[in-house]
Structure 1
Amino acid sequence: MKVSRSASRSKSEFMIATLRNEITAGKYEIGKYLPSELELCSLFGISKMTVRKGLEVLVEEGYIEKVPRIGAKVVSSIHANIITLRFGYYPSLVQEAKLLQLIERFHERHPLLRIQPIPLQYPAHDRYFSSYFQELKLDLMSINAQDYEDMRDLSLLEPMPRNEGVYRLLNTPFMIEEEAVAVQPFVFTPVILCYNKEHFRENNVPEPDACWSWGDVQEASRKLAVPGNRYGLVFHTLSDNRWPLFLLQNGVVFEPQADGSYHLANDQKLKDALATCKELMSDESLFPIHLSRSDNDIKDLFRRQKVSMMIATYSTLNGLQPQEDQGRQLRYDIAPVPFLQEAKSLLIVIGLAVSKLSEHKEAARRFVEFMQSEDAQLFLRKHTLSVPALKSAAEWSGKETMNRPPRFHLFRETMNTFRYYTDLNLSHRQLSLMRDELTLYWANLESLDSVLQKIEDKLAQCNDLHAK
């Protein structure tokens, strides 16, 4: 039977930890030899290649030296200098992925490697990832698909072999060669519809399913809304993971002219998509725009049962766990995001990248491998509502200890609808320029034609700057 890569890693880590402890305890004295590679294969149930890689770790740590054609000789019973890795991370991962707990688990398995977590802040300029690696001297960093595209100098990232156990779709934004990635996927989520089951039951409204359009949501919202008490649907329109949904679902693809300009005034698909988004925002049974300040505000309204439905992500669900001010668990579930012309949802992937500037690239890769391991990914699956990148962990089923929605595994059924915003043929920077102008249209401060003309000018300028 073929042993999976994740299982092999786990057994290798067990062998390394066992031998390290036995050397430290004096079972193997200085000058003595460890069991042969074949004996270690038999003792730990792993291949000869895996044994050799494990012994290399002990060589790096200063415990043993490899004597050609003889074996592995113990040279020290105390560890060499501890390596500290500077890890830049998204602060949201502390809650959404139990990041600090995972780092502690890594420390237990690798006592000579220490992770120094450094929360990432967002400067105003678009080259901040390059500056993070260079100025903060990071060894590795969390990075999502959007920020990866904004990173101008991809040569700063160390290529890594694609992990076969990860959903293949998650590698798409980060591929640099046929079997190599610049970023290893760690956690992912599609955009979904989250709804309060009790509100639907109380109002005798059928629960959402995969056939729901935005029109269906609007109709249900009017039945669920209670004037002065709750709204039917809320979502943070200006989020780059929300408003582009309407463009994707209406088949919009931005095609520049030969001179790099865009002609948007005659793009009826674009106009219809933006108009649908505005219609939803203008419906008083949905939400007043001044409440839509951030995704966190939306989540809190839903948690307090002031909203019956919200457009969210799996990561958002982590904030729906029981709070002190709640007498009982919130009964909620999830459904595919409603569609316009086509059933499509935006996919968000967060991965881990190793810096080429790091003096400890091998140690940094070891941390990335651990974070993608069955052990770490299953811990993430059991203790959060985020979706791990490793397929076997994501699809695990067993005794649950969290307030998990009944249709948690919805992501498996809807993967064929997942898209990246790059399917629009625009960069993240260009989409941000669009959003800034569209705010005026959605706020009824300018006409759509006027806004589209300004967007055309900004997109052309952005192309000119990129060409330079």
Structure 2
Amino acid sequence: MKNKVSRKTFQDRLDDMVRQLRQDISSGRYAAGSFLPSESALAEQFRLSNKSVRKGLEQLVEEGAIVKINRVGNRVAEHARQLKTVVTLGCASSIERDFELAKLLDDFQKLHPWIEVKTINYAAETSSGPHSFVKMARAYLEAGLIDVMTLNQNNLQEMFEQNAHDCLEPLEPPADVYPFVVSPVTFDGTTYMQPVSFSPVLLCYNRTHFRDAGLPEPDSSWSWKELRRVAESIAVPEERYGFYFYLLSENRWPIFLMQSEPGTGHKPDESTANGWLNGIRLVRDIISDRIMPGYLTESSDDVNQLFLQGTVSMILSSYFSMNEFKHTDIDYDISPLPVLNRSASLMVIIGLVVSRNAKNKEAAKLLVSYFASHRAQQLIRDLTTSLPVIKSIAEGAPSPEAPPLNRPPHEAMFRELFPSFRLHRDLNLSVADQLSLRSVLKRYWSGMNDEASLLEQIAVLNREK
């Protein structure tokens, strides 16, 4: 009884056999017109019954990879090497930058030549209206247009809030990763997203500007008051501003509430709104100080370009965004976010999900497993400034053969920020309510509403929950 092999183990071995034969046909090990080993030989090699082997071979027949000839054997089809399983990967356009996606997919292709990965880009921000991301994701997934999709943890949260997780295939729990990336992708004990990379939001600054101004560089002791003072000192009229960030980004404005709210674990109410006022007023003061340019950005990409041009000295950034600087000669570094009432840094996790309607779930899951592998994680470490989710790789040095990149001197600083990591869900607001709150705050920061109106509108949002 102890040696009894489970049903799951049989299925795993069957999958291994089909995958190996498919790869051997694709690589030319079994040439067109040649015959595969006999069913009994395959049964012995993969420790399967003859019945299970026949089941796997039938799958290859259906795919057109082999032709079954009664009483003779299974012959490799004439055009078998041209037959590929196609997996469609849907991703935000920034994923190419964040992961060096093309190079990773090339590496995946070498390992799995029988799988062809096609990519489809989608809009990443959820600024076009309530549940816009979920509507888009559901449309793609239910129509079978996407087999695998990149998401961040807030996208996944919204899919669960809107009961759209029925579009997603459960995955194996991630292994060897930082524990704090597991909980945000697990719901009711089931993992739905494979984490690939993460980043806190932090302060990024131009070291040359600080040296030229004779100012000490930012450090973990900074308050927002200190940032405002330095931003005013380092600015050069009609040449550069001291500080800038894309305020309306879903990964920026919540930081100011997280650093000022009295705590978490309860639903937003009047006391919470009053607690948020410190952060809300801080943003208003930063705007009124005119330490930021009045330039209207469309995304954080515009902020990165202003920073590269030397037009601003300090920005709010992430390890993802720093990929914009990796092939430049800008002298920059990073520091923890300044502190208001308490230390808090918003963390973003990017990962992959598999569609329940994936045309070939085995191939789709192979792609997801690849991104979670030590091989792919090391490539992300070597080729980008993004942080892998495997702890040993994230905290280790790039490989000796890795190309030289313009990395910040304090690249490893993220390890000091673990206690300050916060997620969007720590605001205790649904994603839809986050968007509604942002609209309310935008009117206040634009000078259209006073504080009394602001608090009343927040109270209305709370009553409508």
TM-score range, shorter chain: 0.7 to 0.9
Q: Aligned in 2, Cα 1:196/1:80: closer, same or farther, shift over 3 Å?
A: closer
Shift of 1:359: 3.3
Residues 1:175 and 2:186 are matched in the alignment: yes
Shift of 1:57: 9.1
Match of 1:414 in 2: 417
Structure 1, residues 374-433: CA drift from partner, whole Å, max 9, x if none?
A: 111111111111112222332230455111111111112211211102111112211111
User: 8 Å contact 1:254–1:426 — kept in the other structure?
Assistant: no
Match of 1:84 in 2: 86
Code of the aligned partner of 1:144: N
Code of the aligned partner of 2:459: E
Match of 2:389 in 1: 389
Match of 1:199 in 2: 209
Counterparts of residues 271-282 of structure 1 (less than 5 Å): 271-282=277-288
Structure 1, residues 77-119: CA drift from partner, whole Å, max 9, x if none?
A: 8559421112211111112211122122212211111112111
Match of 1:436 in 2: 439
Residues 1:188 and 2:198 are matched in the alignment: yes
User: 8 Å contact 2:377–2:388 — kept in the other structure?
Assistant: yes
Partner secondary structure for residue 406 of structure 2: coil
Partner secondary structure for residue 166 of structure 1: coil
Match of 2:113 in 1: 111
Match of 1:332 in 2: 332
Residues 1:299 and 2:307 are matched in the alignment: no
Structure 1, residues 430-468: CA drift from partner, whole Å, max 9, x if none?
A: 11111111112111221021022123223433x2xxxxx
Between the two proteins, what is the percent identity of the paired residues? 29
Q: Distance in 1 between matches of 2:110 and 2:226?
A: 51
Structure 1, residues 223-270: CA drift from partner, whole Å, max 9, x if none?
A: 21111111111111121211111111123457877xxxx643784321
Q: Aligned in 2, Cα 1:265/1:389: closer, same or farther, shift over 3 Å?
A: closer
Higher alpha-carbon deviation: 314-323 or 186-195:
314-323
TM-score by length of 1: 0.80
Partner secondary structure for residue 220 of structure 2: coil
Partner secondary structure for residue 160 of structure 1: coil
User: 8 Å contact 2:202–2:318 — kept in the other structure?
Assistant: yes
Q: Distance in 2 between matches of 1:279 and 1:222?
A: 13
Q: Distance in 1 between matches of 2:264 and 2:121?
A: 35
Q: Distance in 2 between matches of 1:351 and 1:412?
A: 20
Q: Aligned in 2, Cα 1:60/1:198: closer, same or farther, shift over 3 Å?
A: farther
Match of 2:16 in 1: none
Higher alpha-carbon deviation: 338-347 or 352-361:
352-361
Q: Distance in 1 between matches of 2:281 and 2:57?
A: 62
Code of the aligned partner of 1:364: A
Match of 2:5 in 1: none
Q: Distance in 2 between matches of 1:106 and 1:292?
A: 36
User: 8 Å contact 1:61–1:112 — kept in the other structure?
Assistant: no
User: 8 Å contact 2:241–2:293 — kept in the other structure?
Assistant: no
Partner secondary structure for residue 137 of structure 1: coil
Q: Aligned in 2, Cα 1:108/1:274: closer, same or farther, shift over 3 Å?
A: same
What stretches of structure 1 of length at least 5 have no aligned partner?
A: 1-12, 41-47, 50-55, 66-72, 324-328, 464-468
Partner secondary structure for residue 30 of structure 2: helix
Q: Aligned in 2, Cα 1:58/1:229: closer, same or farther, shift over 3 Å?
A: farther
Shift of 1:195: 0.6
Match of 1:356 in 2: 356
Q: Distance in 1 between matches of 2:154 and 2:170?
A: 19
Counterparts of residues 138-177 of structure 1 (less than 5 Å): 138-151=146-159, 152=162, 153-177=164-188
Q: Aligned in 2, Cα 1:14/1:317: closer, same or farther, shift over 3 Å?
A: farther
Counterparts of residues 314-329 of structure 1 (less than 5 Å): 314-322=319-327, 329=329
Computed over aligned residues only, the root mean square deviation of the Cα atoms, in angstroms, reads 3.4
Partner secondary structure for residue 24 of structure 1: coil
Q: Distance in 2 between matches of 1:264 and 1:177?
A: 31
Q: Aligned in 2, Cα 1:265/1:342: closer, same or farther, shift over 3 Å?
A: closer
Match of 2:8 in 1: none
Q: Aligned in 2, Cα 1:253/1:342: closer, same or farther, shift over 3 Å?
A: closer
User: 8 Å contact 2:327–2:405 — kept in the other structure?
Assistant: no
Shift of 1:139: 1.4
Aligned counterpart in structure 2 of residue 240 of structure 1, from 240, 250, 254: 250
Q: Aligned in 2, Cα 1:429/1:456: closer, same or farther, shift over 3 Å?
A: same
Code of the aligned partner of 1:184: Q
Shift of 1:38: 10
User: 8 Å contact 2:27–2:113 — kept in the other structure?
Assistant: no
User: 8 Å contact 1:186–1:352 — kept in the other structure?
Assistant: yes
> How many pairs does the alignment contain?
423
Q: Distance in 1 between matches of 2:258 and 2:234?
A: 28
Match of 1:466 in 2: none
Code of the aligned partner of 1:223: S
Q: Distance in 1 between matches of 2:386 and 2:272?
A: 41
User: 8 Å contact 1:347–1:418 — kept in the other structure?
Assistant: yes
User: 8 Å contact 1:253–1:424 — kept in the other structure?
Assistant: no
Shift of 1:35: 8.6
User: 8 Å contact 1:140–1:352 — kept in the other structure?
Assistant: yes
Code of the aligned partner of 2:392: S
Code of the aligned partner of 1:355: S
Q: Aligned in 2, Cα 1:34/1:82: closer, same or farther, shift over 3 Å?
A: farther
Match of 1:132 in 2: 140
Shift of 1:367: 0.5
Q: Aligned in 2, Cα 1:237/1:31: closer, same or farther, shift over 3 Å?
A: closer
TM-score by length of 2: 0.81
User: 8 Å contact 1:196–1:333 — kept in the other structure?
Assistant: yes
Partner secondary structure for residue 200 of structure 1: helix
Q: Distance in 1 between matches of 2:144 and 2:74?
A: 37
User: 8 Å contact 2:93–2:122 — kept in the other structure?
Assistant: yes
Partner secondary structure for residue 410 of structure 2: coil
Match of 1:367 in 2: 367
Q: Distance in 2 between matches of 1:167 and 1:214?
A: 30
Higher alpha-carbon deviation: 28-37 or 100-109:
28-37
Q: Distance in 1 between matches of 2:23 and 2:377?
A: 20
Q: Distance in 2 between matches of 1:348 and 1:244?
A: 12
Structure 1, residues 315-374: CA drift from partner, whole Å, max 9, x if none?
A: 111112446xxxxx1100011111111111000111100111223112111110011111
Match of 2:450 in 1: 447
Counterparts of residues 394-409 of structure 1 (less than 5 Å): 394-398=394-398, 399=400, 401-409=404-412
Q: Distance in 1 between matches of 2:202 and 2:416?
A: 12
User: 8 Å contact 1:83–1:113 — kept in the other structure?
Assistant: yes
